[in-house]
Amino acid sequence: MNLFCSIGYRVLIILIHTQYLVPNPAFNLRGRSSARFRTPACHAGGRGFKSRRPRHLKDRQNSNFFMSYVKKELVFTKEQIAERIQSLASQISHDYADKELILVGILKGVFTFMADLVRSLSIPVKIDFVRIASYGSKMQPGEIRLVNDIGLSVKGSNVLIIEDIIDTGLTLDYLKKRLKKKRPASIKVCALIDKSERRKIPVDIDYVGFKLDRGFIVGYGLDFDERFRELPEIYRLIF
């Protein structure tokens, strides 16, 4: 009996570590023998992030199991965000007083920031959105693709691009070049977060909420694999 119990126990251990049963994420996360759990390479907010989830994390149950090991560190509180947005709105309202202004938001991550910013403005504005892909299984590294273009005409108008986070700068550079072809009166940029850690090309940002050197951040519209957008604060993920 003891012999059969011992054999059965060893078979069970083998099954666990060959992933026939639920894997042990704590073992993998410490990087002892597996690279299946990888920290994200870039930010997305649905744009700049390419999911690197392993095969066994693609179902929601195992993904939730993995996420239970991810910790969040508070970076900016609700009060700090609200105060900074009010300051940005006051500056924008002053700079564009008596001018026609069109805000162009880059989906998805910008929706929360842009909504609060617009409600804090004291001037009338028009609003439009674009959706841009910078990752995908059939896309080359650094490739940018327009998914949805703006519907409004910006010819002769002042355009203010609204971004949640500027990381590599590639998406913003692509959009600015595309908008210039539509002959607006001016193009400026407002970003909630300027994160310079992975900047590939220099970009001019006219209105900046916060500056960060590094870190994968979520909350207030920013996501990790479509998670954490609903958080009212901004956090740094610790893997």
Active-site residue flag, 128 = no
Mean pLDDT of the chain: 79
Is there a contact between 133 and 107 (Cβ–Cβ < 8 Å)?
no
Nearest partner of 227 among 26, 40, 24, 28, judged by Cα:
40
Interatomic CA distance for residues 235 and 76, integer angstroms = 7
Confidence band of 53 (pLDDT split at 50, 70, 90): very low
* CATH fold for domain 76-221: Rossmann fold (3.40.50)
Structural domain boundaries of the chain? Answer: 2-74, 76-221
List pLDDT tens digits, range 71-87. Answer: 899 999 999 999 999 99
**Is this model's pTM higher than 0.75 or not?**
no
Catalytic residue of the set 164, 167, 194, 223? 167
